[in-house]
Amino acid sequence: MTPAAFVALGGGHGLSATLSALRRLTDRITAVVTVADDGGSSGRLRDELDVLPPGDLRMALAALCEDSDWGRTWRDVLQHRFTSAGDLDQHAVGNLLIVALWELLGDTVDGLDWVGRLLDAKGRVLPMAAVPLAIEADVVHADGTHGVVRGQSKVALTTDRIAQVRLTPERPPALAESVAAVRAADWVVLGPGSWYTSVIPHLLVPELADALLTTPARRIVVMNLQSESETEGMGPCEHLDALRQHAPDLRLDAVIADPRAVEDVDELAERTEGFGGRLLLRQVRRGDGTPQHDPLRLAAAISDVVQDYLGDVGAPASPTPTGTHPAADTSGGMAR
């Protein structure tokens, strides 16, 4: 039976967590990555060479490396940062490699595909848009006044309440290959990750948003394990509210949440049902208690979602995790 095709959307460490889980289920994976980073090595290369910021693309490729000597070595090479008193300080090797291939080949997608072949990556990595993007956020300060925060790195660190985010340019062109991947997928996964700067931006690129709304694929949202600076004080329900605000017509089939991150299960189940979906509670965090997703636990939870839909007409083939976690929690269930 043909394995299901997954598209995972996001950026940074959140997308890496999803990809690390998905590569245990299938090699039919496409990562669609945000391209609004303006800080660190990515920001410097973006400003100096007028290219897409490569950092989140690099992290996605690294997450798709196999857990073998080859995969671990190339993952470490890709992620290695120089330390010096000169211009190379804190540049990531993978960022330089990606940009070099873009210059040599003159094609963004070909360059990323070549890196994927070098790494023997279990899937494909694509940018969500064909041009670099900037993020702006309307915020409410602690004293009730309103303001605007500009730039992905600044929005990610703001502690003011974010009312809304938008992209510059306002209606950026989507990458055609990313749109095609979403339309051809069996399953689309949003989150976890920085909600306003990595997850929601995909819903603000018109062609990509249209594909997310109209694809026949089923849609899964993986919730964060804790709030971040940009979502300070927001629980899972408020995260779903933010999705609804920026994409009122978005439909979800399942929401995966860790029980320890949910204060009111009934309320979250009700919010999920409002999107047309079902809530699955599973322990997906690491066993050491750190607020990081465990790849095997998350893979098992995603597999449970797929299995739950197998009885539906036209459901895609089910993946099976390539391992089991010794401490996996199986007490949760799909709320209907």
Looking at the fold, whether 323 and 256 belong to one and the same domain comes out as yes
CB atoms within 10 A of CB 205: 26
Can you tell me the mean pLDDT for 219-233? Answer: 94
Residue after which a domain boundary falls, among 88, 105, 127: 127
- For the whole model, what pTM was predicted? 0.91
- In total, the chain counts a number of residues equal to 336
Residue 163 inside a domain? The answer is no
Can you tell me the mean pLDDT for 316-325? Answer: 47
Can you tell me the mean pLDDT for 264-270? Answer: 96
- Range of lowest pLDDT (167-176, 206-215, 258-267, 325-334): 325-334
Q: What is the pLDDT of residue 55?
A: 95
- The mean predicted confidence, pLDDT, of the chain is 91
Can you tell me the mean pLDDT for 163-182? Answer: 96
Contacts of 34 (CB under 8 A, 6+ apart): 10, 11, 56, 128, 133, 197, 198, 201, 202
For the cut 80, the answer to whether the pLDDT of residue 132 exceeds it is yes
Residue after which a domain boundary falls, among 127, 162, 191: 127
Sheet strands side by side (includes 146-150): 146-150, 134-140, 161-168
Half-sphere exposure of 31 (CA within 13 A, CB side): 37
**Domain enclosing residue 282, as ranges:** 1-29+181-336
Q: What is the pLDDT of residue 166?
A: 96
Q: What is the pLDDT of residue 316?
A: 45
d(CA 50, CA 44) in angstroms, rounded, equals 10
Looking at the fold, whether 6 and 113 belong to one and the same domain comes out as no
d(CA 19, CA 122) in angstroms, rounded, equals 9
Model confidence band, residue 328 (pLDDT cutoffs 50, 70, 90):
very low
Closest alpha carbon to 258 in 291, 218, 307? 291
Total domain count, the chain: 2
For the cut 70, the answer to whether the pLDDT of residue 326 exceeds it is no
Looking at the fold, whether 218 and 296 belong to one and the same domain comes out as yes
DSSP state of 196: I
Can you tell me the mean pLDDT for 77-104? Answer: 91
Half-sphere exposure of 144 (CA within 13 A, CB side): 0
Contact between 260 and 285 (Cβ < 8 Å) = yes
Looking at the fold, whether 65 and 190 belong to one and the same domain comes out as no
Looking at the fold, whether 330 and 295 belong to one and the same domain comes out as yes
